[in-house]
């Protein structure tokens, strides 16, 4: 007996620049996938499986302002930079 195919679960998707694929809106809505969320992808043979859900991921995505703050905090003070530069020059 043949298994019935649910056509709403199939779609042809176009691969865009940098390999991007758009998941149809009705699929995203039914799976609860929102902008900026992480999904899991697996390559099995010639298939790609994308799984919805919010798994525990070992990293955090920082905002642009947080990154700028980190860079600002990470700068070496000019006085210390001058001392290090002088030490390096004198050790040559």
At 13-62, the pLDDT tens digits run 999 999 999 999 999 999 999 988 888 899 999 999 999 877 676 778 89
CA–CA distance, 66 with 62 (Å, rounded to integer) = 6
Q: Are 70 and 34 within one domain?
A: no
Q: CA of 90: how far to CAs of 82, 83, 85, 87, in Å? A: 12, 11, 9, 5
Q: In the predicted model, is pLDDT for residue 1 greater than 60? A: no
Query: Which residues form the domain of 91?
Result: 62-92
CATH number at residue 31: 2.10.260
At 91, the pLDDT band (50, 70, 90 cuts) reads confident
pLDDT confidence tier of residue 85, bands split at 50, 70 and 90: very high
Does a structural domain hold residue 27?
yes
Residue 83 domain flag: yes
pLDDT at 24: 92
Q: How many CB atoms lie within 10 A of CB 71?
A: 9
Q: Are residues 49 and 74 in the same domain?
A: no
For the cut 90, the answer to whether the pLDDT of residue 67 exceeds it is: yes
Specify the pTM.
Answer: 0.49
Token code pair at residue 44: 């099995």
Q: How far apart are CA 91 and CA 78, in angstroms?
A: 20
State both tokens at 16. Answer: 């865009």
- Let me know whether 48 and 22 are in one domain: yes
Number of domain units in the chain: 2
Q: Does residue 47 share a domain with residue 19?
A: yes
């Amino acid at each position: 007996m043949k298994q019935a195919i649910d056509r709403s679960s199939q779609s042809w998707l176009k691969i865009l620049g940098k390999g991007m694929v758009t998941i149809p809106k009705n699929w995203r809505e039914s799976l609860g996938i929102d902008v900026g969320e992480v999904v899991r992808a697996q390559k099995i043979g010639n298939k790609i499986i994308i799984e919805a859900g919010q798994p525990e991921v070992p990293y955090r995505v920082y905002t642009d302002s947080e990154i700028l703050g980190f860079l600002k905090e990470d700068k070496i003070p000019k006085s210390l930079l001058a001392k290090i530069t002088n030490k390096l020059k004198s050790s040559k």
